[in-house]
Amino acid sequence: MTPPVRAGVVVTGTEVLSGIIADTNGPWLAGRLRELGVDLAHTMVVGDRPGDVRAALDFLAAQGMALVITSGGLGPTADDLTAEVVAGFSGRLLELDPALEERILAILRRNRARTQPASPAGTGWAQYGEEAMRAGNRKQALVPDGATILEPVGTAPGLVVPSADGGPTVLVLPGPPSELQPMWTAALATPALRGALVGAAPLEQRMLRLYGIPEAEIARSLRELEAGGLELDRLEITTCLRRGEIEIATVFSPAAAEDYDAFAAAIAARHADTLFSPDGRTIDALVAEGLVRAGRTVAVAESCTGGLMAGRLTALAGSSAYVAGGVVVYSDAAKTAFADVPAALIARTGAVSPEVAAALADGARARFGADVGIGITGIAGPGGGTEAKPVGTVCVSVAAGDGRGDRAVQLPGDRAQVRDRTTTVALHALHALLA
Amino acid sequence: MTPPVRAGVVVTGTEVLSGIIADTNGPWLAGRLRELGVDLAHTMVVGDRPGDVRAALDFLAAQGMALVITSGGLGPTADDLTAEVVAGFSGRLLELDPALEERILAILRRNRARTQPASPAGTGWAQYGEEAMRAGNRKQALVPDGATILEPVGTAPGLVVPSADGGPTVLVLPGPPSELQPMWTAALATPALRGALVGAAPLEQRMLRLYGIPEAEIARSLRELEAGGLELDRLEITTCLRRGEIEIATVFSPAAAEDYDAFAAAIAARHADTLFSPDGRTIDALVAEGLVRAGRTVAVAESCTGGLMAGRLTALAGSSAYVAGGVVVYSDAAKTAFADVPAALIARTGAVSPEVAAALADGARARFGADVGIGITGIAGPGGGTEAKPVGTVCVSVAAGDGRGDRAVQLPGDRAQVRDRTTTVALHALHALLA
């Protein structure tokens, strides 16, 4: 087997390093590299300081990377320094490309014209002048000699910079994901990047999803399966707990496909009751498919999740086919007025009870004329908890004409986590009802 | 001025490196380090491979870090290797701590008992045995000699590991944020960590938030203010575009407070029309405060955002005081039935129009008896766009008894981004109405 092609990602930006904005480029690039069979070894986040960016590049070169991808630092402000640092790292001179400068200026003029009617929520170029554009964007036309230019998606061009002295090829991409992602595709078409990827062998990735089982139990299964003679050496298996579910992700070369099939079958046999997705489909997708297949619609009456359940159900394109609607009923009065929960019931059981959840589900179903109703009530915190019903107490109910399901659970975490995990509980209850 | 205390963060986990789960520990730790005046230079994400973790530690030591913080790799599975790698890096032997082992086991037994009634959505220990716990968790009681143990918050202890040979102190923390965050506080109380932080001088951080202005215009202001003689050298200023707003974050030592005040005043003078938060409060917080101050309630009728607007309004604790309720009306029929939008109006203007948004706002206000109504309709995509109303076309309306506001905007991005940014547009419209 040839040694794998290794790569590193350098995410630049003080605002990312300092935690002000979350990086999504590192994870996205990781997925693309995996599809290509490139072994991502390190993702490094560094601030907008030339010395620290250069140190990261030098480290990745010393670790034997064939490819380094940078994101960010290509904007118009003075703290955007990536092209200059990469030129130095790669032994290249930085030169102004006048034709590129004109193309960037044309883009800026077009953007200004196009967003004129969109103020104040658009980017609002309308009221601003030519000067800010020219001064701010000339530096975006500085290119290391020998580099391949990737045409701007926004205003910043990308670069493929081969090393002048045997180091890694550097792919320089802009920070905004909406620019980085299309430019990645363009970069793959360049001979310069293809050259750096010679020898990469595509890898497979598979995902198993389970619900209602502790991670340590999966660890035990892995140990016992291996001790029992199952061949796992060629599988890179990682497990993690996410949004209340267990994910088992496995990466392997196509040659190890039989090993994976045997492993997946063994997990399915041991954990038939909790493995809800043997092919990696999310619970969101499974619920959507179940509703479409059955030709059923769903409606929600939610209290503690405050709209997030409806928001999750409508996150997928095409959800208008099966989401009849939803109502957010925070107060007791709203539960009665908009979801027909009897005031006497709330008085008897309190607003957080299995009975109220069931009444909310029935009310949502009846009000919206939906086939299935979802009712959610709970204590998201930080206030409102009691000895008997502490923060995290959540009651969920799903109701259809031919059956119903109820869940009363105690969820961990802060307000945001309780609200988020509640939607997972409800999706699984709905999935069970549709099965 | 003494040289700053520098630190690096190493986030371990193949599931993070590969992009399966998003890292929140790096950003969170960055904020805590900033508060302490520690200069975070690099955040590195590495997979569960001992060689790569060790290489990251060696790199950070070579860069002169006084402190390295690791997150993750302390779990019960065989791929959790952090304690072992750190012991090698720090020149320490790894030894079983039998008393710690017993404490961990006691926690596991308690968890099992407590979550018994919570199945299937709790962690579900109930049906699993003593053996999985013991075998999986003995390794969590292996401790480098000379290390300070941080008591488990979940099941994994943390560690403060001083170097045996003059290298950086390593703070070893578990991966789950709900465990890492409280343990960070405990770590700060240890002499071992305090020793590594000697010399750190707390820094100030301030945030300005603007809405309705392009980032390049802020860049121009920075250039012109500096050219005009304003002293910016002692301020570390970063600007970024987030959720449709511009954030200007500035970090500085207390000695530069006057420089910051002058800078903030200059920005306020130049951008009075778009600077909505001179003290860093979010638009969410400002809207909440405005509603509470005015003693007003709000209700939502939303189409394309599908519940996310109500979800955002109820994200803050205490929102039950001012959120009267919400309704998700995806279909034309639901808009008429649950928000009183005349069917003839929808037929005349289409479901996405300023008129329908206004009718939704009125309907929400009337139905829920709220002081203010919010109406949202738009085309989130990927389907549904036309020449006249492309994907990203969004109409928002806010209606009160004494006034109203309407926004018709064209938002960039994919379905999730359009939905998210729509909630920002609506919050700003509401904020303007409350002003």
CATH number at residue A321: 3.90.950.20
In a domain, A315, yes or no: yes
Same structural domain, B347 and B411: yes
Nearest to A309 among B23, B46, B307 (CB): B307
A301 has a pLDDT exceeding 80: yes
Of the candidates A324, A343, A331, the residue with the CA atom closest to the CA atom of residue A304: A331
**For chain A, what is the mean pLDDT?**
90
Domain that includes residue B222, residue range:
204-277
Last residue of a domain, one of A169, A196, A223: A196
* Residue A202: per-residue pLDDT: 80
In the structure encoding, which two tokens stand for residue A106, read together?
Answer: 């044309």
A19 falls in which pLDDT band (50, 70, 90)? confident
The pLDDT of residue A163 is 94
**Same domain for B128 and B269:** no
Same domain, A96 and A14: yes
Which two tokens mark B328?
Answer: 């998700």
Categorize the per-residue pLDDT at A243 as very low, low, confident or very high, splitting at 50, 70 and 90.
confident
Q: What is the pLDDT of residues A387-413, one digit of tens each?
A: 999 999 999 999 999 899 999 999 988
Average pLDDT of A174-187? 93
Phi/psi of residue B121, each to 5°? -90, -20
- Tell me what pLDDT residue A272 has: 96
Residue B9: its pLDDT value, please?
97
In terms of domains, do A217 and A129 share one?
A: no
Q: Is residue A358 part of a domain?
A: yes
Q: How many CB pairs under 8 A join A and B?
A: 362
**Number of domains observed in the structure of chain A:** 3
Residues A40 and A132 in one domain: yes
What residues of B are in contact with residue A420 (Cβ under 8 Å)? none
Buried b (16+ CB within 10 A) or exposed e, A269-279: ebbeebbbbbe
Please judge whether B216 and A42 are an interchain contact, meaning their C-beta atoms are less than 8 angstroms apart: no
Residues B156, B245, single domain; the answer is no
Instruction: Report the SS3 class of residue A390.
Output: coil
- B303/B353 same-domain check: yes
Residue of B34, B215, B381 with shortest CB distance to A18: B34
Is position B29 within any domain?
yes
Residue-level pLDDT at A385: 93
Question: How far is A270 from B132, CA to CA, in rounded Å?
Answer: 15
pLDDT in tens, A127-173: 455 666 676 677 888 999 999 999 998 878 999 999 998 999 999 99
At residue B2, the pLDDT reads: 54
CA–CA separation, B189 and B192 (whole Å): 9
Closest CB from B19, B79, B315 relative to A27:
B19
In whole angstroms, what is the distance from residue B76 CA to residue B124 CA? 16
Q: How far is A95 from chain B (nearest CA, A)?
A: 23
Please report which helix (H) or strand (E) contains residue A27, including its range.
helix A25-36
A218 and A156 together in one domain: no
* Gap between the Cα atoms of A341 and A346, Å rounded: 8
Among B249, B277, B305, the domain-final residue is B277
CATH number at residue B178: 3.40.980.10
CA distances from A374 to A33, A205, A299, A312, A336 (A): 40, 34, 6, 13, 16
Q: Is the dihedral of CA A415, A417, A422, A427 positive or negative?
A: positive
Task: Give the pLDDT confidence of A92-124 residue by residue, as tens digits.
Answer: 999 999 999 999 888 877 766 554 434 444 444
Three-state secondary-structure class, residue B63: coil
Q: Is A1 within a domain?
A: no
**Contacts with A314 from chain B: Cβ below 8 Å:** 306-307, 328, 330
Question: For residue A192, is it within any domain?
Answer: yes
Whether B169 is in a domain gets the answer yes
What are the tens digits of pLDDT across the range A410-431?
998 889 989 999 999 999 999 9
Is there a contact between B21 and A240 if contact means CB atoms under 8 Å apart?
yes
* Pairwise CB contact (< 8 Å): A42 & B41: no
Q: Is position B19 within any domain?
A: yes
State the best of B33, B35, B42 to mutate against chain A, taking most chain A CBs within 10 Å: B42
Is there a single domain that holds both residue B139 and residue B14?
A: yes
Mean pLDDT of A216-244: 88
**Predicted local distance difference test score (pLDDT) of residue B80:** 80
A199 pLDDT band (50/70/90 cuts)? confident
Rounded distance, CA B278 to CA A97, Å? Answer: 40
Residue B129 to chain A, least CA–CA distance (Å)? 9
pLDDT tens across A75-89, in order? 777 778 899 999 999
Residue finishing a domain among A277, A307, A331: A277
pLDDT computed for residue A136 by the predictor: 64
The structure's pTM equals 0.81
Residues of B in contact with A236 (CB under 8 A): 14
Domain identity same for A120 and A30: yes
B325 and B376 co-located in one domain: yes
Amino acid at A1: M
CB contact under 8 A, A214 and B314: no
Residue B1 domain-assigned (yes or no): no
A contacts of B78 (beta carbons < 8 Å)? 219, 222-223
Nearest to B325 among A338, A383, A414 (CB): A338
CATH number, domain of B221, equals 3.30.70.600
Same domain, A30 and A14: yes
Q: Which of A47, A219, A367 sits opposite B136 (nearest CB)?
A: A219
Those residues of chain B that have pLDDT short of 50 are 1, 115-127
Quick one: CA torsion of A337, A341, A347, A348, rounded to 10 degrees?
A: 170
Mutate to test the interface with A, among B28, B105, B330 (most CBs of A within 10 A): B330
